[in-house]
Structure 1
Amino acid sequence: MFPFDVEKNKGHTSESIHSIHVSEIHTDTGRSESIIGAPEEEESPLGQHVGKFTVVALNFSQMIGTGIFVTPGSILKGVGSIGASLMLWLLGIIISFCGFAVYTEFASMYPKRAGADVAYLEKAFPKPKYLMPVVFAVISVLLSYSASNAIVFSQYVLVAANQPVTEWTQRGIAIAAIGAVCLMSWVSNKWSMRLQNVIAYVKVVILFFVAITGLVVLGGHTRIKNPKDHFKEPFKGTTGNANVWANALVKIIFSFAGWNNANNVLNEIPDAVRTVKIYGSIALALVSVLYMLCAVAYFAAVSKEEIKHSNLLTAALFFKNVFGDSAGQRVLPALVAVSSIGNLLAVTIGHSRIVREVGRQGVLPWPSFWTNTWPFGTPGGALLVKFILTVIVIVAPPPGDAFNFVVDLQSYPSNIFLCLLVVGLFIVRRRRQKAGLGRAPFRAYTVVAIFYFLVSLFLLAAPWVPPPGGANGGDVSFWYATYCVVGIGIIIVCGIYYYVWAVVWPKFGGFQHVEEIVTMPDGSTYTKINRVKNNPQPSSDESELEIEKSAHVVEREV
């Protein structure tokens, strides 16, 4: 049923690999490596409010954004035929399940770590010391804004209310939306989860409605004449342009993005690995079926020629053709607004855990700020930073090129980390094998992991292929791949900062970094990295400190 093996790991717990790292570090005092990253929290200070249906809803809500209302039409316009479009949607489903298998294997090895990519990259790449935590931390925090989701919500709210879409009205509603979402997420984990559950299942009902309506249209029970004719010669008009196919597949892959959102709150889920494996796959399977049925529904109600020659959303044409002009002009924008605000809430919940986990690694300033869950048992520091950055991105760049560029900038570093993540899976497997730990409790088939690695390479290569409009034919008026270069540039700058901070500064400053595991009153734990002066000839009363330095880790409570 799943693209991975289930194995009872023969006496080893899912925490075994972490225990091996700790054991090696503590017993081999001659090594320069230490416990890198965030310590495991035995009990999540955020509580355990994420049940089975919330796991489904979290993934639902992040997957179902505005893409299903927009993407099917743009895919058809690009590849030129209904048959080719549906084949790409099917390929998107296969890719998503392969990715789900990879993330499930990681989850089975680190079930007490939230933040998904944060923890998995940290564990896969402990060398060079601090490099991966530093680079991922800076990128994750700087690019933690959700401006595009908030702007889309504001646009469709105004359209649904039959109000003019002005620049500052749009920005004001977007700021109010992200403010309300962050405030709800800060005040109560339980109620923010409940709200996103409600919105998620409303979105599923919306897609069910579209899918069933499509079946009714195909049955000939609406005013659409000869809907089955739209599927005759399904591959007629298919383009052979490789760039168009690449762009179409990228759009479909990102339409499914969010199937791993539950991994971000993994330590808040009772019986986490089993729950995520079963209910995460249910969420992905249901969304996959609904996406395919919705695409068929759109193509049944709207002809290929009408989609190609209209500037309206395909979903708007669908509602207009089936229910009349008022439905296309009023009902659809309201549905898209509901979908986008639910997506914004799910992304905020998941990403706040990523940023908190990054802060717990100790490589950012003031780790207690990022880690602390006072007063509501929520990641307040991460939510505050997300709100501030999102407001800046909403307000500072002028509409058009600047805003599109800032939004695009988020994607390329994420694709780089995705590629590293899949490579890291094979590294961790080999490390476990050398340590005699055997297979992980859940294991993706190797061919599945390799295929997903190839997909990650494709996502790195595709943005460099020139668009049909030429070098300036992207969604900005300047060179189409500028955001890729800038994204790589940010990572290089992070690498330079890392080298200065972790290598040059300690060498010339005569100190070394010593990790201190700090436990806060709420039970939160984080790594604090202290600078300890080198002392080549310690006195006897300093022997205890030297032992701590050689092990590179101390512990205390505050």
Structure 2
Amino acid sequence: MAYEDDHKSNREKAEYVVQTTSEDDLPSYEEAAVTAGAPTEKISPLGYHVDWVSVIFLNVSKMIGTGVFTTPGSILKAVGSIGLSLIFWVIGYIFAGASLAVYLEYASYFPHRSGAEVAYLEKAYPRPRFLMPTAFAVQSVLLSFSSSNAIVLAQYLLVAGGGEASPWNVRGLAVGVFTVIVIICILSTRWSLRLSNAIGVVKVITLLFIAVTGLVVLGGHTRVDNPHANFKNAFQGTTSNGNGLATALVKVNFAYAGFENSFNVLNEVKNPVKTMKRFAPVSLSIVFVLYFLANIAYFAAIPKEAIINSKELTASLFFTAVFGNSKAVTAMSALVAVSSFGNLLAVVIGSSRIIRECGRQGVLPYPTFWASTRPFNTPLGPYLLKWVLTVIVIIAPPAGDAFNFIVDLQSYPANVFSFLTTLGLFFVRKRRKAINAPPSEFRAWNVVLFFSLSVNVYLLVLPWVPPEGGIYAGDVSFFYATYCIVGLAILAISALAYFVLIIWLPKLGNYSIRQSLEKLPDGAQATRLVKVLNSEVDEWDATHNEHGDVVPRKEELKGGISTS
């Protein structure tokens, strides 16, 4: 199977070269005003397995995990009313749409770069050299585990199978299932995408079934009494508590996280800008419609107080209310487990490309290890790193505070970089204007960018607002914002490492840091950071371009022109 995939991939690459050869004759605006970072792989060494269907379902599968089955109750509890709860799902869609516009504009500028934020931050902040790649790499690598996803998947599998959900049963099953997912991804990109697409279809069908059943309930054709009760005085009970409203917005925003997943594999998409413009918004809109209709169904079938007070899956309450079957919880747990599996698969595929791009930038040791696609035409190194980190976080921390803290720790640095990504788009525009670059295929309205920035600021400020009950009333027993402080500390450590390795030690050792281009047999390219003595810097700069590729000396070029 691996040989067949590799053979097909090589054929697809050859076909794609023919389609894009003319790009070599155009000015390389994709490289404009950038003095550091990973080289652009005009022909993807990972092949072109990502079609429009995969674009849709990579996003859909990451967005639809367990959130729509669990969070409607917590959101309703936070806002207090049915009407405002539904409005918040619309607001979340608008938030995500604004952020999607930012990604689409970046993609139109840099269509040959996967990794999304890795590449976009590199392009937006080329100075100080290597600072942004270093900071993002530390955050992305150290916090690249998917332990919470795997734990949730294991819990629902045990419930569906009638097993005992003891801590070590859950952890053991989580490690096993995650290992299976990583092996699938390592062996074949084509088949991992096909599996992701298939599970994505199951997710959509599941939510469509809930939505249609909800409409039947509203029509009065089920055992549910008074299905319109929750929609009378729909805004009754609306809270004025700022913390509750803020918490609800964060939960809704998190439910739409994943709209950007396909941008992580952008360089593996044929006609990437055109495909993304068409189908990335489609994926987000599909999820919004399904989310909204699913909530309508829940509110039609389940009394408001039952939704607020129950700790069960909201979807399980729905099945029980409509069908009156004790097996409803088991059936729903199985569907949620399938959804979680697809979510984890999509996350692993996307995050492997993020790690690979960090490695290609040269800020991680052994850049060729991360960039290589051997032996299965997949990013083996990033997959192995993600597996190791996830297994450690699943097994090592004790249940409770430590586990919750580690999971929360991922969120705050990610919010910081999300803000910087949006802000950086203004800088990229300015540099493109300075070199008279032609208009891109997509440009977000300025009002959308400012709106997206305001959302990012909101998400940065909110975690510092004390929860109801005081500073020790968060999801851990210690100070509620500890994860924010530690997250900022990680960023500070990244900056310190940058200062020591890139500025202080070179001054002390009388050398400079330069990039050297590494070209692998599989077509992959990476940057290696090398030490060049200050006495040899002029010679190096005269014989290498900004990515470290060897070029003829300027004097030789001038000489060649004059003699011709």
TM-score, normalisation: structure 2: 0.91
User: What is the distance in 2 between the residues matched to 1:13 and 1:489?
Assistant: 46
User: 1:17: which partner in 2?
Assistant: 29
- Aligned in 2, Cα 1:109/1:15: closer, same or farther, shift over 3 Å? farther
User: 1:386: which partner in 2?
Assistant: 386
User: What is the distance in 2 between the residues matched to 1:239 and 1:438?
Assistant: 50
User: What is the distance in 1 between the residues matched to 2:271 and 2:391?
Assistant: 37
User: 1:429: which partner in 2?
Assistant: 429
User: 2:15: which partner in 1?
Assistant: none
1:404 is paired with a residue of what secondary structure?
A: helix
2:549 is paired with a residue of what secondary structure?
A: strand
Q: How many residues align?
A: 529
Q: Report if the CA contact (8 A) 1:514-1:549 is conserved.
A: no
State the Cα distance separating 1:326 from its structure 2 match: 2.2
User: 1:398: which partner in 2?
Assistant: 398
Query: Is 1:548 aligned to residue 560 of structure 2?
Result: no
User: 2:408: which partner in 1?
Assistant: 408
State the Cα distance separating 1:184 from its structure 2 match: 0.5
Q: Where in structure 1 are there 5+ consecutive unaligned residues?
A: 1-10, 23-34
User: 1:178: which partner in 2?
Assistant: 178
User: What is the distance in 1 between the residues matched to 2:124 and 2:483?
Assistant: 27
1:297-312 maps to which residues of 2 (within 5 A)?
297-312=297-312
Q: Report if the CA contact (8 A) 1:14-1:109 is conserved.
A: no
User: What is the distance in 1 between the residues matched to 2:26 and 2:243?
Assistant: 43
Q: Report if the CA contact (8 A) 2:41-2:524 is conserved.
A: yes
- Aligned in 2, Cα 1:205/1:531: closer, same or farther, shift over 3 Å? same
User: What is the distance in 2 between the residues matched to 1:350 and 1:205?
Assistant: 23
Q: Report if the CA contact (8 A) 2:160-2:334 is conserved.
A: yes
User: 1:6: which partner in 2?
Assistant: none
User: 1:212: which partner in 2?
Assistant: 212
2:326 is paired with a residue of what secondary structure?
A: helix
Q: Report if the CA contact (8 A) 1:14-1:440 is conserved.
A: no
Q: Report if the CA contact (8 A) 2:59-2:259 is conserved.
A: yes
- Aligned in 2, Cα 1:169/1:278: closer, same or farther, shift over 3 Å? same
User: What is the distance in 1 between the residues matched to 2:478 and 2:165?
Assistant: 26
RMSD: 1.8
Q: What one-letter code is carried by the residue in structure 1 that aligns with 2:29?
A: I
- Aligned in 2, Cα 1:426/1:67: closer, same or farther, shift over 3 Å? same
1:331-350 maps to which residues of 2 (within 5 A)?
331-350=331-350
- Aligned in 2, Cα 1:64/1:15: closer, same or farther, shift over 3 Å? farther
User: What is the distance in 1 between the residues matched to 2:309 and 2:441?
Assistant: 52
State the Cα distance separating 1:548 from its structure 2 match: 2.9
User: What is the distance in 1 between the residues matched to 2:25 and 2:305?
Assistant: 58
User: 2:352: which partner in 1?
Assistant: 352
State the Cα distance separating 1:281 from its structure 2 match: 1.0
1:11-410 maps to which residues of 2 (within 5 A)?
16-21=28-33, 35-410=35-410
State the Cα distance separating 1:472 from its structure 2 match: 1.0
User: What is the distance in 1 between the residues matched to 2:451 and 2:514?
Assistant: 40
- Aligned in 2, Cα 1:58/1:131: closer, same or farther, shift over 3 Å? same
1:515-530 maps to which residues of 2 (within 5 A)?
515-530=515-530
Deviations 1:143-176 (A, max 9, x none): 0000000000000000111111011110111001
- Aligned in 2, Cα 1:535/1:216: closer, same or farther, shift over 3 Å? same
User: What is the distance in 1 between the residues matched to 2:229 and 2:386?
Assistant: 49
State the Cα distance separating 1:436 from its structure 2 match: 1.7
Q: Report if the CA contact (8 A) 1:14-1:441 is conserved.
A: no
Q: What one-letter code is carried by the residue in structure 1 that aligns with 2:403?
A: F
User: 2:12: which partner in 1?
Assistant: none
- Aligned in 2, Cα 1:218/1:305: closer, same or farther, shift over 3 Å? same
Q: Report if the CA contact (8 A) 2:114-2:267 is conserved.
A: yes
- Aligned in 2, Cα 1:551/1:263: closer, same or farther, shift over 3 Å? closer
User: What is the distance in 1 between the residues matched to 2:365 and 2:172?
Assistant: 31
Q: What one-letter code is carried by the residue in structure 1 that aligns with 2:254?
A: F
More divergent stretch after superposition (464-473 vs 338-347): 464-473
Q: Report if the CA contact (8 A) 2:404-2:476 is conserved.
A: yes
Q: What one-letter code is carried by the residue in structure 2 that aligns with 1:113?
A: R
User: What is the distance in 1 between the residues matched to 2:508 and 2:79?
Assistant: 58
Q: What one-letter code is carried by the residue in structure 2 that aligns with 1:63?
A: M
User: What is the distance in 1 between the residues matched to 2:546 and 2:492?
Assistant: 31
Q: Report if the CA contact (8 A) 1:374-1:522 is conserved.
A: yes
Q: Report if the CA contact (8 A) 2:185-2:192 is conserved.
A: yes
State the Cα distance separating 1:469 from its structure 2 match: 2.3
- Aligned in 2, Cα 1:478/1:544: closer, same or farther, shift over 3 Å? closer
User: What is the distance in 1 between the residues matched to 2:445 and 2:207?
Assistant: 32
- Aligned in 2, Cα 1:87/1:211: closer, same or farther, shift over 3 Å? same
1:419 is paired with a residue of what secondary structure?
A: helix
User: What is the distance in 1 between the residues matched to 2:113 and 2:25?
Assistant: 15
Deviations 1:98-138 (A, max 9, x none): 11111000000000000000000000000011000000011
User: What is the distance in 2 between the residues matched to 1:416 and 1:281?
Assistant: 24
- Aligned in 2, Cα 1:438/1:549: closer, same or farther, shift over 3 Å? closer
User: What is the distance in 2 between the residues matched to 1:331 and 1:468?
Assistant: 35
More divergent stretch after superposition (115-124 vs 322-331): 322-331
- Aligned in 2, Cα 1:523/1:497: closer, same or farther, shift over 3 Å? same
Q: Report if the CA contact (8 A) 1:16-1:437 is conserved.
A: no
1:226 is paired with a residue of what secondary structure?
A: coil
Q: What one-letter code is carried by the residue in structure 1 that aligns with 2:244?
A: V
More divergent stretch after superposition (437-446 vs 496-505): 437-446
1:165 is paired with a residue of what secondary structure?
A: coil
State the Cα distance separating 1:280 from its structure 2 match: 1.0
User: What is the distance in 1 between the residues matched to 2:495 and 2:226?
Assistant: 60
Deviations 1:258-300 (A, max 9, x none): 1111100000000111111111111111111010000110000
User: What is the distance in 2 between the residues matched to 1:304 and 1:14?
Assistant: 61
1:399 is paired with a residue of what secondary structure?
A: coil
- Aligned in 2, Cα 1:442/1:49: closer, same or farther, shift over 3 Å? same
Deviations 1:464-485 (A, max 9, x none): 1111121111111111110000
User: What is the distance in 2 between the residues matched to 1:549 and 1:323?
Assistant: 70
